[in-house]
Structure 1
Amino acid sequence: RFFVLHSDDTSTPLSKLSPFLVAKTLQNTLGAKYEAKKLFSGDLLVEIYERYQATALLNLKMIHNLKVTASAHRTLNTIRGVISEDDLVTSTEEEIVEGLSTQGVVAAKRIKIRKDGEERPTKHVILTFEKNSLPPTVKAGYINCKVRPYVPNPLRCFRCQRYGHGSRACRGRETCARCSGTDHTADDCNLGYKCVNCNGDHPAYSRSCNHFKKEKEILALKVKENITYQEAKRRLSAFQRGSFAEAVSSRGPAPSKVSVATQVSFSDHGKPLQSSTPRLKLTLPGHSISAAKAAEAPSRTKDLGAAVAMEVTPSSRPP
């Protein structure tokens, strides 16, 4: 489970304390098995693995001389999925949660569409599970419902119009969503459309924006692979650039090729030299013969050793 450790003093975030001091306190409280990461806000994200650690962390009230509060992370401890059943169209969200609570469902939100100026309910319901992975199905009474991953729309800041954060954490300038100007809001704008994210002739909130589509792809990969947003963004960016490293990792190791003039990798060290020119095929003995033993070997072995010596000439060795 994930918890957020927050300083009660707004003027002194946890990030202002010595990381050694904080780590020592957490280790004394939780033991060695935990992970911690500094958040953008200055709070600390703590991942724990045992039930007793949750109790200990919630009871932690002080680090050095700074009062702190621990609380469960709002989203990382849950996962959302979608069910689509015609037989549940008339069921309320409260009824669905009550009926599926024994299967880990803690919230339900019916998807609605706007048609002819009014909202209409659909058969699609977003379920929130208090789990880290989605079940393949849930049992709604006698109906077996398939659960699909839910991919949310990208988060766009209403202040600077950029993606990836909300207005509360925004440090950018207030920007018009219509023309990308910074001296007025969209309510007072009469200028032409210009997207602040891609410079296209559409508003920042347009779903035809290429930046919106890219963010949607990142979120889809994040949900599908169950990875962080940053990792999904890195993978997608590498794939779109045609990254050689990503291509190699996805296709597996390439066959080793050795140049007769150059050692191309450390793995080539000690490998026999290869050349495109035809060579005499020799049937070598099964065991290697040392220089001392070769001198004592019969004449046939001497002839073989001479043939091998002629085969690997100084001119064919790498410089």
Structure 2
Amino acid sequence: MRNSSNMVLLTFFGSTLSDRVHIGPINLRVRRFVPHPPQCFSCYGYGHGKSSSKEASRCGNCSALDSHSEEHCNTADYCFHYREAHQVRPTQCQRYRLEQDILQVANYQFFSLGSARRELLCPLYRLSL
């Protein structure tokens, strides 16, 4: 199905991926799709959305566990994931990049998310096997 970005999402069966696909007179380049990591915009954790969040709500600016709105937050930016002075928004947080890498490893190496997470976070585990 086409969207405004001229992308077509195709599903292939098997583990090999063609570099091009022909649909009628159209010749399309194929590349693997890796989704963005899902981030909850209530608790700002990863792996779930706001509707299924079981954690307490946080401010997206200062990470406070209270109900004040981000628009009215006067506190300095703070990320609870890495305890750094930035918002917990995806573009600024190293945790988002880590979650992106986990999805990429899972997608390219056909790992489960748990295995991909262990692969990236525990490299010494592989050496001990």
| TM > 0.5 fold call | yes
Whose strand fraction is larger, Structure 1's or Structure 2's? 1
The amino acid that maps onto 1:144 is N
Q: Aligned equivalents of 1:126 and 1:198: distance in 2?
A: 36
Q: In structure 2, the residue corresponding to 1:127 is in which secondary structure?
A: coil
1:246 is aligned to 126
2:112 pairs, out of 228, 233, 236, with 228
Mapped to 2, the partners of 1:134 and 1:108 lie a distance apart of 23
User: C-alpha distance in 2, partners of 1:216/1:159?
Assistant: 20
**Contact conserved, 1:134 with 1:149, CA < 8 A, in 2?**
no
- The change in CA–CA distance for 1:175 and 1:145 in structure 2 (over 3 A counts) is same
Q: Which has the larger radius of gyration?
A: 1
CA gap of 1:134–1:187, structure 2 versus 1, over 3 A, is farther
Number of the residue aligned with 1:129: 11
SS at match of 1:180: coil
Q: Who is 1:216 aligned against? A: 100
Could you tell me which of 79, 97, 109 is aligned with 1:195?
79
- Secondary structure (helix, strand or coil) at the match of 2:9 reads strand
Cα distance, 1:171 vs structure 2: 0.9
Q: Return the alpha-carbon distance in structure 1 between the equivalents of residues 16 and 74 of structure 2.
A: 46
> What is the CA-CA distance between 1:234 and the residue it aligns to?
1.2
* Matched residue, 1:178: 61
Q: Which runs of 5+ in 2 are unaligned?
A: none
C-alpha spacing 1:228/1:160, structure 2 compared with 1 (3 Å)? same
**Structure 1 CA distance, aligned partners of 2:88 and 2:81?**
7
Q: Larger helix proportion, structure 1 or 2?
A: 1
Distance in 2, Cα, partners of 1:138 & 1:158? 37
Change (3 A) 1:160 1:126: farther
Q: Give the 3 Å change call, closer, same or farther, for CA 248–197 of structure 1 in structure 2.
A: closer
CA gap 1:128/1:145 in 2 versus in 1, 3 angstroms: closer
Query: Measured at CA, do residues 131 and 236 of structure 1 come closer, stay the same or move farther in structure 2, by a change above 3 Å?
Result: same
Q: Could you say if the C-alpha distance between residues 167 and 205 of structure 1 is closer, same or farther in structure 2, counting changes exceeding 3 Å?
A: same
Supply the RMSD in Å over aligned alpha carbons: 2.2
**What does residue 162 of structure 1 align with?**
45
Identity of aligned residues (%): 27
The 5 A counterparts of 1:1-319 are 107-111=1-5, 125-129=7-11, 131=13, 135-136=17-18, 137-183=20-66, 184-239=68-123, 243=124, 245-247=125-127
Greater RCO (Cα-Cα under 8 Å, separation 6 or more)? 2
Give the whole-Å Cα distance in 2 for the aligned partners of 1:201 and 1:129. 41
